[in-house]
Amino acid sequence: MPTGEPPASQEEPGPALPAELSRRLYRTMLTARLLDAEAVALQRQGVFPAYVSLRGQEAAQVGSAAAMDRERDFAFPTYREMAVALTLGVDMVGYMASHRALWHGGLYDPMASRFAPVNAVVGGPVPHAVGWALGEKLAGRTGCAVSYFGDGASSEGDVHEAMNLAGVLGAPVVFVCQNNGWALSVPNEGQVAGGSVAARAAGYGMPGTAVDGNDAAAVYTAVGAALERARSGGGPSLVEALTYRAAPHSTSDDTSRYRDPAEERSWAGRDPLPRARAALEAAGDADAAFFERAEAECRTEAERVRDGVSAAPEPPGSDLFAHVFREPTEELARQRRVWQEEVG
């Protein structure tokens, strides 16, 4: 998908969802937006060494994660899936600990939350998701993996190999590509051949569909259908959520060096939060009191997580040696002795 204007189909509303579900999706998206802003501020204040914003991609993340079965399925994230973690009930102070560099991968329980450790390798979570899904199939269980990656990662060899293996072996996995238009500073047309990421699915023997990634209902429906297909033995699917990275790639990025401000203004009119609010109001599923209460409660939660991760104690230096090898080597033991002598 070219980066300027989205397809006309993206202007059409997604399928209607139950009112309570729609309200829950909106509240989760709003919490993610507010927490994202707090995280950027923490980086500017020197609390986080770096941070990658998800602003603009809330609908793609919340809609896809909400379709999962939290008892059976497992999500495999990159470094940008904060709203997925939030939707799945991850301990968000523990999640944000990864961005504060307290612990690589986060300080939450992946097994309890069904959300794998944060993975900063581009395309890295995708083979992991396929491996987990194959394990579920071999064990005769009905869990499905949901693998997250971006349009830039779609050009990585790991992604192609994982998708091919999933297609050949019928792995119960849903590949969710958040196509936000930019692989850091490279636009879609500079690194995605064939028109779209979804079009590649045919080469791996699986269905591929592109949906409006700024419409939580559309994403929820598409991922839900793909999960049902995988759960019933139909194998993998690819869902390409067409969205936009409203923020810089990371807090060290400067979009003015490569992106047209007019493009950013065009996509600002398709922001998923106002669209979700407008849909709720049009359906008569929420009133002014709901939105006022949601703003206050979601802001309180975002501030709770902010304060929690800011106050979290740093891990002891001994952790550098505790989780390297199952059986420590002589060299590692020597390094630990030197460290102990230096710190007294």
Residues annotated as catalytic are 245, 249, 258
What length does the chain have? 344
Alpha helices in the chain (DSSP H): 19-44, 58-66, 82-87, 92-99, 110-113, 125-139, 157-169, 216-231, 261-268, 272-283, 288-311, 319-322, 330-343
Instruction: Tell me 68's DSSP state.
Output: S
74: β partners: 145
- What whole-number distance in Å separates Cα of residue 84 and Cα of residue 12? 24
Q: What angle do CA 219, 222, 226 make, to 5 degrees?
A: 135
Query: How many Å is the maximal CA-CA distance in the chain?
Result: 68
Radius of gyration of the chain (CA): 21
Q: How far apart are CA 70 and CA 83, in angstroms?
A: 15
**Could you tell me which residues come within 8 angstroms of residue 218 by beta carbon, excluding any fewer than 6 positions away?**
14, 15, 63, 211, 212
Q: DSSP string of 109-166? A: -HHHHTBPPP--STTTHHHHHHHHHHHHHHHT----EEEEEETTGGGSHHHHHHHHHH
The sheet carrying 208-212 orders its strands as 74-76, 145-150, 173-179, 237-242, 208-212
Residue 24 main-chain phi, psi, to 5 deg: -65, -40
* Cα 330 versus chain centre, distance: 40
Rounded CA separation 77/99 (Å): 14
